[in-house]
Structure 1
Amino acid sequence: MFVHIGGGKFLRSDTIIGFFDIEAATQEPATKELLKKAQEEDKVESLCADLPKSIILTDKKIYISSSAVKTLEKRLTEG
C-alpha cells in the first residue's frame, strides 16, 4: 500500500518508521542531532509549500511535510 505524505509524494507503507509532530520532535536534542546528521548526508527532503507540521521517518530518508500527523496516520490506516 502507498501513503500520500504531501507535496505529491507517495511512500510505500512498509518503508515508514513513524510520523512525528515537528514542533514537539525538534525540542529534543537527539532529534535535532538526527536531523542535522541526515541533512549533512543529503537524506532530508522538504515537501512543504506551507508551514511544516510533521517529520516522516523512513528506512532511507526523512521527509518534512505540511500534513499533520493525525492526517498521515489516517491515510496510513484507512488506505
Structure 2
Amino acid sequence: MYIHLGGEKIIRTSQVVAIFDISIESSSKLSRQFVAHARKNRDVETIGEEDPKSIVVTEERVYYSPISTSTLKKRAHYLVDL
C-alpha cells in the first residue's frame, strides 16, 4: 500500500519508519542532529512550497510534508487496517 505525503509524493507504507510533528525539530537536540546529518548526506526532501507540518522518516530519506501529522497517521493506519 501507499501513502500520499503531499504534492506529487507517494511512498510505500512499508518504508515509513516514523512520522513526527515539525515542532520536534525545535524541541529536541537529537532530532536536530538527525536532520542535520540527513541534510549533509542529501537525504532530505521538502514536499511542495507550503510550510512543512510534519517530518516523515523512511528507510532511505527524510521528507518535510505540508500535511499534518494527524492526517498522515490516519492515512497510514487506514491502510494498515485494510
Q: What TM-score results when the alignment is normalised by the length of structure 2?
A: 0.90
Partner of 1:50: 50
Q: Answer yes or no: is 1:12 the counterpart of 2:8.
A: no
Query: What stretches of structure 1 of length at least 5 have no aligned partner?
Result: none
**Counterparts of 1:36 and 1:52, CA distance in 2:** 16
Matches within 5 A, 1:1-79: 1-23=1-23, 25-26=24-25, 27-79=27-79
Query: What stretches of structure 2 of length at least 5 have no aligned partner?
Result: none
- After the TM superposition, list the runs of 4 or more consecutive aligned residues in structure 1 that deviate by more than 2 angstroms: none
Identity among equivalent pairs (%): 29
**Counterparts of 2:69 and 2:20, CA distance in 1:** 6
**Counterparts of 2:61 and 2:45, CA distance in 1:** 8
Aligned residues: 78
**Counterparts of 2:36 and 2:77, CA distance in 1:** 30
1:48 Cα shift?
3.2
**Counterparts of 1:7 and 1:37, CA distance in 2:** 25
**Counterparts of 2:3 and 2:12, CA distance in 1:** 6
RMSD: 0.8
